[in-house]
Amino acid sequence: MPAVRPSRAVARVFSSWLVVGLAACGGSADDTAGGVGVGGGAGVGSGSGGAVPDAAPPEKELESSYGAPVATGSFVWIPNPASGRVAYIDAKALKVETVEAGNGPTYLAPVPAPNADVAIVLNVLSYDATLLRAEQGHLTTDSLPVPSGGNAWAVSSDGRWAIAWTDARGVPSASAADGYQDITVLDLTEGALASTPLTVGYRPVALAFDAAGSRAFAVTGDGITVIELAAKGAPLVSKNVKLSEDALDDAATRDVAITPDGAYAVVRRDGKATISVFALADGARTDVLLPAPATDMDLSTDGTVAVVVLRDTSQVALLPVPGIVDSPAAFPLVDVPEAIVGSAALAAKSPTALLYTNGIPSSLLTSLDISSATPVPHSVLLHAPVEAVFPTPDAAHALVLHGAVAPDAPDAGAMAYPGALSLVPLAADLPSKILGLDAPPVSVAIDPQGTRALVATGDEAHPSYHVHVASMPSLQIQSYPLGSLPIAAGIVAGAGKGFVAQKHPDGRITFVDFDSGDARTITGFELASQVSDGSEP
């Protein structure tokens, strides 16, 4: 089951009609953990390990702040809430067309399909959704009612189901009386489209599906609402699993991961030295006692290992799932003596966990094979404190973001950078490469093969806009100027190109061809789709 890890930061919506909702992710651009994850700038430092300072700040899941616009196999889809249209761009030919949607098309999501490019957009003013299907040169559209409205999508891995829901963290000044408990479940089966409104717990923070597509789960302030999809007739809510018997327990301080088979939920709470495992069939709870509070928890892609990080003791607990239910005291506890670790990022197609801390300045990055019977941590010293880590799917490399990097000498010639990135070889014993950035990073994308990565940089305070394209294993980085403030970066795998959507009154997107290195910009999606050189405004 694809993991969904909502950002702790409020989703960003821009005033330009080029509206792109930032994707919710966890330890990587596509959230490489195996379950549903829900969670609540440092200067240069040696990062050589040592004791955790008293009252150290909590770990920050900054990876989830970096997302991408909607791309399918060969297309990029961009909604225009003002005109009621959706622009779809053929990334191979750089051909732009538009199609009518509903009133206020705003929130888009890709829909998996074996032989077509499919996306769905939520029309916020007409309370419906438009299903867009591009196949063999033709585009078709279908409309389905969405009485719940919403600002987020969850889509099953087989493309049959989509759920529209509201993440309250993206709603400014929401009242406590706004529970956002209404969702709409859409059956996207061709020829049998259907819409079912349902009610879940208070203020959901994640919606996801089991691997079989037979159940969906809403993680809410009231626990986990279980939705039966395979039942005879329309989808229905079958139960709610409480995650705490304490009426005052703050749901915002929890990490929740659900195994791909939908059998178990693994729960971490801030400041607690206990991990709780819930059987979703009957709500039975198993508590796992740890030697220190858990500061992060992620689930492996196959859902068989919960990786729990203990910053106070610089240890990692590897909880076997479901074995931990029968033997809650039987699990490996790995010491990381040379580093302080408080967070983990898991690779999508490798049993590798990357460990680090961003709660305190530390330049150490540690890798750990969580499939090994005797896992041994391996640490590398980078050249600036770590803020966020994005492993490639195979864990052969990692892209690491750093915060502001101060001059290392007091002379006038020294230069401070508002950010930096590093490319770290993990599969080979080679040095990492660091690049100082003249503006903070705003978006990161890594291709499915792990051979390219994009980092878009620039904000209102640093109006020097670029996209940096990294190549692995060469560790070469090519930087391209952008004419406008970048919103988000992404990769169109079927076209072999990366792209950066930008804030512009007429809509703007820049494509970079990975093979040729050419950059091309499209501006004004509904004004004859002019194509200009990528370095021009």
pLDDT tens string 166-225:
999 989 989 999 999 999 999 999 999 999 999 999 999 999 999 999 999 999 999 999
CA distance 472 to 85: 38
Beta strands 386-391 and 223-228: pairing type? Answer: unpaired
pLDDT tens string 247-299:
656 666 688 999 999 999 999 999 999 999 999 999 999 999 999 999 999 99
List the chain domain ranges.
440-537
Cβ burial, residue 516 (10 Å; 0-12/13-18/19+) = exposed
Bridge partners, residue 212, by sequence: none
Supply the pLDDT for residue 164. Answer: 98
Site of tokens 């992060």: 296
pLDDT tens string 356-386:
999 999 999 999 999 999 999 999 999 999 9
CA distance 170 to 152: 9
CA distance 264 to 299: 11
Single-letter amino acid, residue 130: T
Q: Please, which residues have CB within 8 angstroms of residue 143's CB and are 6 or more apart in sequence? A: 102, 128, 129, 130, 131
pLDDT tens string 209-259:
999 999 999 999 999 999 999 878 899 999 999 998 776 566 666 889 999
User: Nearest to residue 201, comparing CAs of 188, 184, 217?
Assistant: 217
Q: How many CB atoms lie within 10 A of CB 460?
A: 7
pTM of the model: 0.86
DSSP string, 370-400: TTSSS---EEEE-SS-EEEEEE-TTSSEEEE
For the domain made up of 440-537, give the CATH fold.
Neuraminidase (2.120.10)
Helices marked H in 49-205: none
Supply the pLDDT for residue 537. Answer: 45
